[in-house]
Structure 1
Amino acid sequence: MAAFLAFVGTAVGASQSLGNLLERDAERSRALHTQTELQQLLRLLIDIETGQRGFIITGQQPFLRPYEEALDDLGRLHTGLRQRLAETGVSTAALQRLDALIEQRLAQIKANIERRLAMGEGVMRDLGAYADGKRVMDELRFEIGELAHEQRQRVTAADLATQQVQQRTTRLMQLLPGAGLVTLALALLLMLRERRLRDRAEQALRNANAGLEQQVAQRTEALSRALARIRSFASELERSIEAERRRLAREVHDQIGQAGTAIKMLVFALRAQLAPRTEPLLDELQTMADEAIRAARQISAALRPPLLDELGLEAALGHYLQTLQRQSGLTTTLALTGAQELAPDQANPLFRITQEACTNVLRHAAATALRVTGHPCLQGGRDGYELEVIDNGRGPGDTRADASGLRGMRERAAMAGGDFDFGPALGGGTRVRVWLPLRTAGQEALDEGEAWV
């Protein structure tokens, strides 16, 4: 009787363990699903942010399409996600904070779009609205990260509870040998039955885990494709900005420069008509015309160096470094080889990164000499082009890795598909290195086709 009762108690405990295993697996599945939806919520918010930013910069309605599509998906996702978060025990205060931040950011974005329609490009000078939007977006990322972290903790707790149930089941099964010879046959039959049940449960768990892993893999692949689309959009946006810079530079040079030249010609004509009399106002007018022509040339060169399009990267960097040396007294050296192998749209990020690096040298390095070198270079078995900016200043010191200048250079290199390094140079000073992969003619045509798509 004691052996029989012991076996019955063991069987009951094992059955309860099976129920606990299934319950914990259901909790784990819900937590993983909720975590995936939180990631999707953040992606939709980023899509809305990207669509709004593209419209504010360009003013073109097609850039609002990602914003409108993501806004529709956000409403449906947010309702179901909020209900699931409440069911998992998330505090009402956390849900209210998330709702308030989402509502606040959507209101800011809607206001920015309305202001863009009303004010035109003038809205881009409102740094306060940009700072408020960034603050709210950072708080949203933090809240979503906290909620995702809580779901990960639930998954970990469910896994730990499953292990404890399995350990408890194993300990109960170890009590069966004490049942005795009288009930040995019955015990063996019941053990075989229990073993089959446990195998089925484990198989069910393995199948469920396999399904969850496949779902996570699919979600990860979808997120990777979304990230690739965002990077493609950012690259296309950068190309659009550079095209607009090129157009503005040409307009400034042609319109203002021609106006200044016309004014000078009028001044010369007036001098000839007034001769031999002199008029001081004509001298002042000629000075203002010269200043207008000089300002037009400076603005045009700052927007888009004409040498970059006409003669390539080496000529543009040479002219820029000569101007830098003349204005600052900094000794500059340029040594580029194989720059003609770069695709036309790769010269611009290299030029902009060099500009930013030289600006940082003037602001922070206290250097007397600066060297820019570039050459084709293999990296990871891929053909590429390496460009370095090295100075003899005080070195990087305690410069933060997320400083705005470094972040901008790193993002430009990433959008071009390359790598960026920042650190001390051999022998002292600071070294900035950027590497971009070289592309064949076929790859350039493929990239252009993807950009149009």
Structure 2
Amino acid sequence: MSLLVAAFLAFVGTAVGASHSLAELLERDAERSQALRTQTELQRLLMLLIDIETGQRGFIITGQQPFLRPYEDALGELADVRTGLRERLPRQSADTTMLGRLDALIDERLAQTRQTIARRLADGGAAMHDLSAYVDGKRVMDELRFQIEQLTREQQRRVAMADEATQTVRQRTTRLTRLLPAGGLATLAVAVALMLRERRLRDRAEAALRDANAGLEQQVAQRTEALSHALARIRSFAVEMDRSIEAERRRLAREVHDQVGQVGTAIKMLTLSLRARLAPRSEPLVDELQEMAEEAIRSARHISAELRPPLLDELGLEAALGHYLQALGRQSGLTTELDLSDDALLPPEQASPLFRIVQEACTNVLRHAQARKLRVAGRGLAVGARPGYELEVIDDGRGPGSTRPDASGLRNMRERAELAGGSFDFGPAPGAGTCVRVWLPLESPLPAPAASKQEEAWL
């Protein structure tokens, strides 16, 4: 792997070096082209100055306006040429003194020509005999030629430097493109040979590993099968235990209803009989005894309903939930709504865990949600090829917020749903509030046990 990385780095280095060299060549070529264009502009500047000088001299000698045409044309183009030189020369040379001197000389010579032309227009032929103006003009033009020649030589020097740098880059690039690929190919060949050797060793090791894994896979399969059977037994035990708890709740509810309720009813009847015998006298203790008997009857009914709602066994899930939500609304002030459809499809074994999940969800709403409305809705819903029933408990409270997923209430509801072979979901409701959603298959995970004759008689 190290050799492959080295070969890769060699080729990458070649590409990077070539790219860098290309960028450097382009930069040198741009410098050379810039210097050549500057030389051309300098020669054009010199030609324009000569045209100005020629036009001025022709007008001084002849005094005729047509001789000023080269002078005027050169003046119109001179400004553009000077602007172009100002843009190029400062970027190429750190010393701008030469360019400043050149601008000063051009301005001085233009001022001289304008003054000479004005004197020729004013004095006529007498201006031809002013030797001082001729001498000053010649001096300035000689200095202009010298400055332009110096700048031209500087640009020529830059062209030569760019050519030399280009040649150096080409030589370096040639060496790089020969050396690095050759080293990369050699390293790659060694790496391929080592990989082939490693592949042979790996094939032998894999053959030995397959032989060892064959025995391990058989052991894993056996243990997985045993674990599956154990999990199935645990699940069966949990379902049976839940059914046993519900059966015990049903029995206790019956006992409370029959025993405590009957005792309360008997006390009430005796109190009424005692009241009739004492009439027309009124005895406060008899009234208190009657109230206690009625309270005992109400408590027996409440405890019986909490242990196992009789409506759940007698009339089904919708009736039991309707009665529960009405009582919840009276006790808490919540506005409750029940909307169930297809609940007749639910077997009794699946209706019981749904009722318990709704009870737990409503308890959480009262404790934490600070809601004003509560809605319970259910419908038949197939998941894949499995027919099932979905039930939702939705409130308009403050939402799930920072509720922990492993909170005891959520854990209880989730475990009930999983024991019944279904799924559980908890999250925000559309708009605001909280939504508890549970789905159970219509078939029970275990067949329901046969009810005893005593339970059948009670039901």
**TM-score, length-scaled by structure 1:** 0.54
Deviation at 1:449, TM superposition (A): 7.4
Q: Does 1:283 align with 2:275?
A: no
- 1:46-445 equivalences under 5 Å are 202-439=206-443
Deviation at 1:201, TM superposition (A): 5.8
1:366-424 per-residue CA deviation (whole Å, 9 max, x = no partner) reads 00000000000021232110000000000000000000000000000000000000000
Structure 1 CA distance, aligned partners of 2:195 and 2:449? 70
Residue 414 of structure 1 aligns to which amino acid in structure 2? E
Residue 346 of structure 1 aligns to which amino acid in structure 2? Q
Residue 368 of structure 1 aligns to which amino acid in structure 2? R
Structure 2: runs of 5 or more not aligned: 1-189, 451-459
Deviation at 1:356, TM superposition (A): 0.4
Structure 1 CA distance, aligned partners of 2:236 and 2:420? 10
Structure 1 CA distance, aligned partners of 2:234 and 2:196? 61
Deviation at 1:219, TM superposition (A): 1.7
- What SS does the corresponding residue of 2:381 show, helix, strand or coil? strand
Structure 2 CA distance, aligned partners of 1:360 and 1:203? 59
Q: Percent identity?
A: 74
- What SS does the corresponding residue of 1:267 show, helix, strand or coil? helix
1:148-177 per-residue CA deviation (whole Å, 9 max, x = no partner) reads xxxxxxxxxxxxxxxxxxxxxx99x95999
Structure 1: runs of 5 or more not aligned: 1-169, 178-194
- What SS does the corresponding residue of 2:387 show, helix, strand or coil? strand
Deviation at 1:225, TM superposition (A): 2.0
Residue 393 of structure 2 aligns to which amino acid in structure 1? V
1:166-218 per-residue CA deviation (whole Å, 9 max, x = no partner) reads xxxx99x95999xxxxxxxxxxxxxxxxx7x9876643321111221232232
- Assess if the C-alpha contact under 8 Å between 2:369 and 2:399 holds in 1: yes
Residue 240 of structure 2 aligns to which amino acid in structure 1? E
Match of 2:153 in 1: none
Deviation at 1:288, TM superposition (A): 0.7
Residue 414 of structure 2 aligns to which amino acid in structure 1? R
- What SS does the corresponding residue of 1:421 show, helix, strand or coil? strand
Deviation at 1:272, TM superposition (A): 1.2
Deviation at 1:274, TM superposition (A): 1.2
- What SS does the corresponding residue of 2:435 show, helix, strand or coil? strand
Structure 1 CA distance, aligned partners of 2:196 and 2:408? 68
Structure 2 CA distance, aligned partners of 1:175 and 1:248? 76
Match of 2:114 in 1: none
Structure 2 CA distance, aligned partners of 1:221 and 1:312? 39
- What SS does the corresponding residue of 1:225 show, helix, strand or coil? helix
CA shift in 2, pair 1:201/1:379, >3 Å: closer
CA shift in 2, pair 1:176/1:331, >3 Å: closer
Residue 271 of structure 1 aligns to which amino acid in structure 2? R
Structure 1 CA distance, aligned partners of 2:353 and 2:398? 26
- What SS does the corresponding residue of 1:277 show, helix, strand or coil? coil
Deviation at 1:257, TM superposition (A): 0.7
Q: Does 1:447 align with 2:451?
A: no
CA shift in 2, pair 1:199/1:432, >3 Å: closer
Structure 2 CA distance, aligned partners of 1:268 and 1:176? 105
Match of 1:36 in 2: none
Structure 1 CA distance, aligned partners of 2:381 and 2:202? 59
Number of corresponding residues: 261
CA shift in 2, pair 1:424/1:175, >3 Å: closer
- What SS does the corresponding residue of 1:447 show, helix, strand or coil? coil
Match of 1:162 in 2: none
Rg larger in structure? 2
CA shift in 2, pair 1:275/1:226, >3 Å: same
Structure 1 CA distance, aligned partners of 2:196 and 2:371? 81
1:231-271 per-residue CA deviation (whole Å, 9 max, x = no partner) reads 11000000000001001001100111111111111111111
What is the RMSD of the two structures over their aligned residues, measured on CA atoms? 2.8
Match of 2:64 in 1: none
CA shift in 2, pair 1:374/1:273, >3 Å: same
Structure 2 CA distance, aligned partners of 1:357 and 1:176? 65
CA shift in 2, pair 1:286/1:176, >3 Å: closer
- What SS does the corresponding residue of 2:374 show, helix, strand or coil? strand
Aligned structure 1 segments of 4 or more residues deviating by more than 6 angstroms:
197-200
Structure 1 CA distance, aligned partners of 2:205 and 2:267? 90
- What SS does the corresponding residue of 2:431 show, helix, strand or coil? coil
CA shift in 2, pair 1:199/1:423, >3 Å: closer
Deviation at 1:275, TM superposition (A): 1.2
**TM-score, length-scaled by structure 2:** 0.53
CA shift in 2, pair 1:404/1:366, >3 Å: same
Structure 2 CA distance, aligned partners of 1:432 and 1:267? 49
